[in-house]
Structure 1
Amino acid sequence: MKKQKFNLDPPKFLVLGFAGVILIGAILLTTPIATEDGKGLSFINALFTATSATCVTGLVVVDTGDTFTVFGELVILFLIQVGGLGFMTFATFLFLLLGKRISLKDRLLLKEAVNHLSIAGVVRLVKRILIFTAVIEILGGIILSIRFSFEMPVGKAIYYGFFHAISNFNNAGFDLMGGFQSLTSYVNDPTVVLTICGLITLGGLGFLVMNDLYEYRVSRRLTLHSKVVIYATLMLTIGAAIFIFLFEYGNVKTLEPLSFQGKVLGSLFQSVTARTAGANTLPIGDLTHSALLLIIMLMFIGGGSGSTAGGIKITTLAVLVAVVWTQIRGKEDVVLFRRKIALETILKALTVAVIGLFIVVIVTMILSITDRGHNFIMYLFEAVSAFGTVGLSMGLTPDLSPLGKILIVLTMFAGRLGPLTIALAITMRRRRDSFHYPEGKILIG
């Protein structure tokens, strides 16, 4: 009698892999050597922090800089790096270091994990991902270290520089500044603001786009995916920065006291970080409702597919906007950059967006029950921030009840893996129907 092999399809494997990393991280953060007080975090707070780090979110129930020892901070940094690269990418890195062969099964898992079209060249792509990550994080770390060295000892400046470079390239938003202040003291600093904006943007574009840009020097062509991500990112970043500038220009708690340069840098940083990093240079709780609503929309959209960012992804938005524009013009084919979009892609985009919206509505509703006493917009902001793995907060996170913390943990996990695994599951399960029902008509609008 043959033994039945225990095989997991890629979506289940990725979910269990991330869950395992989170659990290990949570256990490490409960140890006495992880916190300054020598007591370790409670398990629920450790689980929250580990999930936030692995899902590269940045929501925190305790201040990172004030609470953790260097050991605890390095655990968080490790979780951020694993979460940003992806479980399978990091595992492949270890295999390559040990000189082990990458099996066909591993290549199939990698293909799904990095959203590659085929297994051909997937190991080469992973090697490039590792190189891109190392180069960008090192350059960002050096620039920030030099800047921080003007106000702190060199050793501490290097540590701070590389911690914030890794955190922000992976779109996590964890910081060591203390007092839940994030980067608000650097709102007028072009070196810090522009460096971190660059790190966040590169991480949010995605590794496939970076690889495409790298190969552009030879091919002189960009894929449709890269074109959509790059153009949409530019439009959203510039457009949102202009609106935030206008909304907050006269707000005495945010932009009004700053110089013109500070106003521009503050607006740009909030525009970039909302998709989906979590660091902030303006106090989020003091923003006007119009700016908060704009940031909520940006958080829900997120970054590029296969990136360190979350949300429904910018390509999903582009496809849905193209569908609407096609219907308004009375055309049949949905077209982006002179390329017809397949019906399968349209249905996948619609599915991801609707499920994302459903999750946000349900989480907001439950939060308003488990954590009463706050403004409704705080619940909505927290829910979208968790789902979009952003990490921005209006101040609700540290005050969450145990049930609220568990809910946000599940939301961050779903936000990081949900849209990806849903898309993979749809692709894997799709098969031709053996028969078709007669067509029916429904009135729309």
Structure 2
Amino acid sequence: MFFIIKIKLTPTQVLALGFAAIILIGTLLLMLPVATKSGEGADFLTALFTSTSATCVTGLTVVDTKTYWSVFGQIVIMVLIQIGGLGIMTMSTLFALILGRRITFKERLVMQEAFNTNSLGGIVKFAKYILMFSFLFESIGAVILTLRFLPQMGLKKAVYYGFFHSISAFNNAGFDLMGNFRSLTGYVSDWVVNLVIMGLIIFGGLGFYVLLDIYEHRHFNKFTLHSKIVITITLFLIAAGTLFIFLFEYNNPKTLKPLDFPTKILASLFQAVTPRTAGFNTLSLSDMTIASKFLTIILMFIGASPAGTGGGIKTTTFGVILYTVLSVIKGEEETVLYKRTISRHIVYRAVAIFFISIFIVFSATMVLSITETSNFITVLYEATSAFGTVGLSLGLTPELTTIGRIIIIFTMYTGRVGPLTLALALAQRQKKPKPIMKYAEEKIMVG
């Protein structure tokens, strides 16, 4: 990864090319005969799709992970998930530390852009914290899942499944080894599996800045404004999502109706958490009501939080836009959260990210509606899942045409790299010259 930095590229170009390079390497590895159970190797498009989905921590699959890929192929997918979730520069930092190599100034600049931080101070220390948090949460999750799987799988398989699903959950990937595209539907009433997977998804999606803030301060009032917004919006979306899914699916005989009341609550909670952007499911997604599917699309579009393992437009972007609208309704001139004023430049960036993301999703949806024979809600669901790097599917992905696969691959890559690149490009901290003149204002009618 470091050789890319030696070429004269901007930090955003390094990040974009870094992801592309990892995807290409993963594709080549998955095309090897040893990567598939048939021993024939995957075709280029299948390998590229899977590698992109894993590196972009999406979870959409055109072939079943358990039955199609060998243990070697599954391990390649797991490594790609880890690299994609933690980020290119974090993994590069890990290898540099292992080799005892000094992090150069140029590499620190790229890390600064990757983490979207304001200064170079403590950037390597922060990368170490990311590695520490990741391995800590993944290890705890793996141990608990191993103990849970042990009675039904045996030690060797339980350990393997424990680590695979823990890494997949914390990195918000959604890949599973349950077979036949079932995800975790067989564990809909299992409180241990549900709570562990949900906990890993939430902590991975909060973002490492928030985790560090919680670790250092341990009190909400002492948290930074960023952490307060992330935690507030996250709790709001989980609570609202759980309530509405519970109401929408309560009498649905194919989802919640056959379950007892506690399990109904658990399943509703899980389906509210997983669109943020993990891709696991304990209910049959295709059998859910239209209202629940549309709610899931909204949750997938919003996604997780900055500097985390998830995708989407991010909770902070949604929060800034939401509070800006509320400020306009109240007749206030500034966006104020927790007695702090949000810079107009941040508001503009949030609006720009929102509308460009809408454009990407709508464009992918329109093309897929032409290439695929499916209804609109299914196509929109799949396109949003790809862009938000979620991985939830109504069953369209395995049936995609060649053009459809290419569109989803591009959407996954754009969802993982595009909004990030856009945010970094818009956030360039360049000194702006003082305006020499200001044009006269003129009003227009809106609304």
Verify same fold: TM over 0.5: yes
* SS of corresponding position for 2:151: coil
* SS of corresponding position for 1:100: coil
Query: 5+ unaligned residues in a row in structure 2: which ranges?
Result: 1-5
Matching residue of 1:378: 378
Query: Quick one: which amino acid aligns to residue 39 of structure 1?
Result: E
Matching residue of 1:55: 56
Cα distance in 2 between the residues matched to 1:153 and 1:6: 50
CA offset at residue 434 of structure 1?
5.9
Matching residue of 1:407: 407
* SS of corresponding position for 2:427: helix
Q: 1:220 to 1:377 in 2, by over 3 A?
A: closer
* SS of corresponding position for 2:85: helix
Matching residue of 2:151: 150
Q: 1:60 to 1:219 in 2, by over 3 A?
A: closer
Cα distance in 2 between the residues matched to 1:420 and 1:166: 22
Calculate percent identity across the aligned residue pairs. Answer: 53
Cα distance in 2 between the residues matched to 1:192 and 1:409: 30
Matching residue of 1:339: 340
Cα distance in 2 between the residues matched to 1:191 and 1:436: 61
CA offset at residue 218 of structure 1?
9.4
The correspondence of residues 359-438 of structure 1 with structure 2, limited to 5 A, is 359-371=360-372, 373-428=373-428, 431-432=432-433, 436-438=438-440
The answer on 1:440 being equivalent to 2:442 is: yes
1:299-343 deviation per Cα after TM superposition (whole angstroms, max 9, x unaligned): 000011111110000000100011110110111111011100001
Query: 5+ unaligned residues in a row in structure 1: which ranges?
Result: none
Matching residue of 1:235: 236
Query: Quick one: which amino acid aligns to residue 18 of structure 1?
Result: F
Matching residue of 2:291: 290
CA offset at residue 440 of structure 1?
3.1
The correspondence of residues 185-196 of structure 1 with structure 2, limited to 5 A, is 185-196=186-197
Cα distance in 2 between the residues matched to 1:20 and 1:413: 12
Cα distance in 2 between the residues matched to 1:219 and 1:336: 14
Query: Quick one: which amino acid aligns to residue 65 of structure 1?
Result: K
Cα distance in 2 between the residues matched to 1:75 and 1:244: 35
Cα distance in 1 between the residues matched to 2:240 and 2:443: 39
Q: Structure 1 length as normaliser, TM-score?
A: 0.97
CA offset at residue 406 of structure 1?
0.5
1:205-229 deviation per Cα after TM superposition (whole angstroms, max 9, x unaligned): 0001001111114997100000000
* SS of corresponding position for 1:389: coil
* SS of corresponding position for 1:305: coil
Query: Quick one: which amino acid aligns to residue 192 of structure 2?
Result: T
* SS of corresponding position for 1:231: helix
Cα distance in 1 between the residues matched to 2:302 and 2:394: 19
Query: Quick one: which amino acid aligns to residue 287 of structure 1?
Result: M
Cα distance in 2 between the residues matched to 1:202 and 1:357: 26
Cα distance in 2 between the residues matched to 1:225 and 1:139: 27
The correspondence of residues 17-166 of structure 1 with structure 2, limited to 5 A, is 17-166=18-167
Cα distance in 2 between the residues matched to 1:434 and 1:37: 69
Query: Quick one: which amino acid aligns to residue 446 of structure 2?
Result: I
Cα distance in 2 between the residues matched to 1:198 and 1:217: 18
CA offset at residue 179 of structure 1?
0.5
Q: Is the 8 A contact 2:116 2:424 kept in 1?
A: no
CA offset at residue 429 of structure 1?
7.6
RMSD: 1.3
Matching residue of 1:198: 199
The correspondence of residues 291-306 of structure 1 with structure 2, limited to 5 A, is 291-306=292-307
Cα distance in 2 between the residues matched to 1:220 and 1:279: 33
Query: Quick one: which amino acid aligns to residue 440 of structure 2?
Result: P
CA offset at residue 111 of structure 1?
1.2
* SS of corresponding position for 1:150: helix
Matching residue of 2:225: 224
Cα distance in 1 between the residues matched to 2:335 and 2:97: 42
The correspondence of residues 177-326 of structure 1 with structure 2, limited to 5 A, is 177-217=178-218, 221-326=222-327
Count residues in correspondence. 440
1:391-433 deviation per Cα after TM superposition (whole angstroms, max 9, x unaligned): 0000000000010000000000010111111011112286446
CA offset at residue 251 of structure 1?
0.5
* SS of corresponding position for 1:295: helix
* SS of corresponding position for 1:253: coil
Cα distance in 2 between the residues matched to 1:219 and 1:103: 36
Query: Quick one: which amino acid aligns to residue 20 of structure 2?
Result: A
* SS of corresponding position for 2:251: coil
